Amino acid sequence: MRYLSKINRGAILTAGVILIVIGYLITTAIIQNNEKPMIRQVCETYLKQEVAFNMLPLEYRKEKPDMGDTALKSYLAEMKKSITAFYPDNEQYYKYIIETLTSDLTNQAKGIDVVYQYEKTILKFKEISFEGDTANVTITCSSTIEAKNTATGSSIKNKTTAETSDSIILQKINGQWKVVYSSINRPTREYAVTKY
């Protein structure tokens, strides 16, 4: 009994708290590592969808697309349904991306800044960081786009390949990872290998 009374109770309490914190951190790290494959899969699938909807359907990817209003409305509806499936059921999360894609595709249907080809290949998941139920993902991609910029008055298609850094923020909602923000970048000529 005398031995137990000589032990510093504060040291025992501190050691106990440290062990609890270490246990919590280890458990959290294991849970987060188990979530990473699902996060990567959601990001890969979302990236493919967003890139695909940066272009008109294949038969309309030409200088004068001749895409009628009915065909365009149908394609825009398909785009909205496909993209919003990745987001929470709240317009504030997907409103900007839908408006941006709608405007871009509508212009392309009129022959303005037509995208003929656009591809992204994931080189690596640079970072997946967690904050509560949110994951911030940074992806390095090899991106290639072939388009004509009508603003410059040029009739030449430019093919640009560059390494891009893309970001997607996901939130776990009802057991599913949902996109709450995305910044998917087209390659720019400033950092690119350009082919004509």
Task: Tell me whether residue 140 is in a domain.
Answer: yes
pLDDT tens profile 98-154: 999 999 999 999 988 899 999 999 999 999 999 989 999 999 999 999 998 765 556
CATH number at residue 82: 3.10.450
Number of CB atoms found within 10 A of residue 189's CB: 11
Specify if 113 maps to a domain: yes
Low-confidence residues in the chain, pLDDT < 50: 1, 191-196
Q: Decide if 4 is inside a domain.
A: no
Identify whether 66 is part of a domain: yes
Q: Which two tokens stand for residue 5?
A: 């009374």
The answer as to whether 190 is a domain residue is yes
The domain containing residue 175 runs over which residues? 37-195
Please say whether the beta carbons of 119 and 143 come within 8 A. yes
Distance CA 141, CA 174 (A): 30
Residues with Cβ within 8 Å of residue 163, at least 6 apart in sequence: 123, 140, 141, 142, 143, 187, 191
Helix 69-84 / helix 9-52 crossing angle, nearest 10 deg: 170
User: Domain total for the chain?
Assistant: 1
Which positions ≥6 away from 161 have C-beta within 8 Å?
Answer: 142, 143, 144, 187, 192, 193, 194, 195
pTM (2 decimals)? 0.80
Residue 27 lies in a domain: no
- Evaluate whether residue 28 is within a structural domain: no
Spatial separation of the C-alpha atoms in residues 144 and 159, rounded to whole Å? 7
